[in-house]
Amino acid sequence: MRQAKLNRRDFLAGTSAVVAGSAMLATAGGILIGPNAAWAIAPQAVTTAEAATLVEMTRALYPHEKLDDAIYAKVVATLDEKAAKDPAMKTMLQAGVAELKAGKWDDLNADAREAALKTIDTTPFFQTVRGECVTGIYNNPDVWKIYGYEGASAELGGYLHRGFDEITWPDQA
């Protein structure tokens, strides 16, 4: 993943605060840290609190119990990177998050979050975040491993001797 430069000075720069409604930690040094410091991102365009909400939004869009927040945080880091170069995108992301927050996002459970997102699914904000997820989540080899896709095979000699025809259950079905 895109591991932000998390050095001791940043980490100690200010008081840390737990982001409401999640186990993520936003430091005053501008770093968003995952549970047990498993991952961290240092958003440049949006605030750490906004980044935390975006992480939650990407999970609500494509909820996978087996996927760690780190996968979603990577998508948010990419969005933030684009926003750092594009003021209009930054404004859009921040306004979008503000709208979610206004809808009591932090208090909603997973189903209610999906329902809340449904009400904004035609907005450019929604489509931008969703579009980034499609490649950001599913083009990640860490995700492939979890859901049983083996990726490149040519250098391993293909599947001719590695199970291309191994299943037998259809014959008995």
Partner 1 sequence: MASKFELNDSSVVVVVGSGAGGGTVANELAQKGVNVVVLEAGARHEIEDFVNDEWGSFSQISWLDKRTTSGSWRVAKDFAGLPAWIVKAVGGSTVHWAGASLRFQEHEFKTKTTYGELAGANLLDWPITLAEMEPFYDRAEDKMGVTGTHGIPRLPGNNNYKVLAAGAKKLGYTDFHTGNMAINSVPRDNRGSCQQIGFCFQGCKSGAKWSTLYTEIPKGEETGHLEVRPNSQVLQVQHNDKGLVTGVLYADKDGKQHVQKARVVCVAGNSIESPRLLLNSASAMFPDGLANSSGQVGKNYMRHMTGSVYAIFDKPVHMYRGTTMAGIVRDEAKLDTKRGFVGGYEMETLSLGIPFMAAFLDPGGWGKSFSSAMEGYDHMAGMWLVGEDMPQETNRITLHASEKDSYGLPIPNVHFDDHPNDVAMREHAFGRGSALYDAVGAKRTLRTPPYPSTHNLGTNRMSAEAKDGVVNKHGQTHDIKNLFVSDGSQFTTGGAENPTLTIVALAIRQAEFIADQMQKKEI
Q: Which stretch binds partner 1 (CB under 8 A): 17-25, 42-50, 101-109, 161-169?
A: 161-169
Neighbours of 129 (CB within 10 A): 23
Does residue 104 belong to the site contacting partner 1 (CB under 8 A)? no
Residues 142 and 116: their CA atoms lie apart, in Å, by 29
Nearest CB to partner 1, comparing residues 86 and 159: 159
The phi, psi pair for 41, rounded to 5°, reads -130, 150
State which of residues 21, 114, 119, 124 lies at the interface with partner 1 (CB under 8 A). 114
Residue 173 CA to residue 170 CA, distance in Å, equals: 5
Q: Is 157 helix (H, G, I), strand (E, B) or coil?
A: coil
When the beta carbons of 5 and 151 are compared against partner 1, the nearer one is 151
- What's the rounded Cα separation, in Å, for the pair 79 and 58? 11
142 binds partner 1 (CB under 8 A): no
Coil vs helix vs strand at 89: helix
- Taking CB under 8 A as the criterion, the residue among 45, 61, 83, 89 binding partner 1 is 61
**Residues interacting with partner 1, by CB under 8 A?**
61-64, 66, 110, 114, 117-118, 121, 130, 133-135, 137-139, 143-144, 147-155, 157-160, 162-167, 169-171, 173
